[in-house]
Amino acid sequence: MDPKRVVEQGYDRIAQQYLDWVLTEPAEARVRYTQVLLERLPARARVLDLGCGAGLPTTRALAERFWVIGADISARQVALARQNVPAAAFLQADIGTLSLAPESLDGVSAFYSIIHVPREEQPDLLRRIAAWLRPGGLFVATLGARAHAVDYADDFLGAPMYWSSYDADTNRRLVEQAGLRTLSAREETTVELGDPVVFLWVVAEKPAASAHGRVCPDANN
């Protein structure tokens, strides 16, 4: 099994079904954490939506205030996103290997997407996200709360699907080791297809640099 092909082909197959499900059963946490970005970042900030899906509801909400680029591994999802959010830019890409310019972004959102990347790639992805952010930039994401090297379903809304994650404590540590300062990291339960599922929702920022180029210490430490 090639995990990334499973994810890519799966979302190509169920792109519309997934969008219908997301819009029919909106996750309250998704709305609340989108609001974190909307409230903390300035207008016209440059924001990357990692795993943008079909662009609804998150990418559209962000694009109403920010300059947004969405990235997704599924070509079908990206095609829908371009239709749904014409104000944003989109690219089809494996987010696990995506390369962007250092300090080119003010914010990165990653809702329910990093958990589709094999977990051995996730520490490097977090480091690259930290590198993409400008000092003071914001990272808001869904990470795993339970350890699953491989979590596979034969039928997720009509297609096979793959997930992978570390436990919550490990993910909290990986975010800090990537060079980000955690503002909050809370386990939140949502109901998916009738079953409760726990995710770790993280809000973190890239520490600001001092005039000498060193990272300023946290004033609370």
Tell whether 92 is covered by a domain: yes
Tell whether 221 is covered by a domain: no
Express each pLDDT in 121-164 by its tens digit.
999 999 999 999 999 999 999 999 999 999 999 999 999 999 99
Tell whether 49 is covered by a domain: yes
Tell whether 33 is covered by a domain: yes
**What share of the chain in percent tops pLDDT 70?**
94
Domain housing 141: 3-205
Examine the pLDDT at 217 and tell me if it is beyond 80: no
Tell whether 70 is covered by a domain: yes
Q: How many domains does the chain have?
A: 1
Tell whether 163 is covered by a domain: yes
Contact predicate 148/164, CB 8 Å = yes
Express each pLDDT in 60-102 by its tens digit.
999 999 999 999 999 999 999 999 999 999 999 999 999 999 9
- pLDDT, position 1: 83
Query: Where residue 60 sits, what CATH number does that domain have?
Result: 3.40.50.150
Tell whether 214 is covered by a domain: no
Tell whether 212 is covered by a domain: no
Examine the pLDDT at 187 and tell me if it is beyond 70: yes
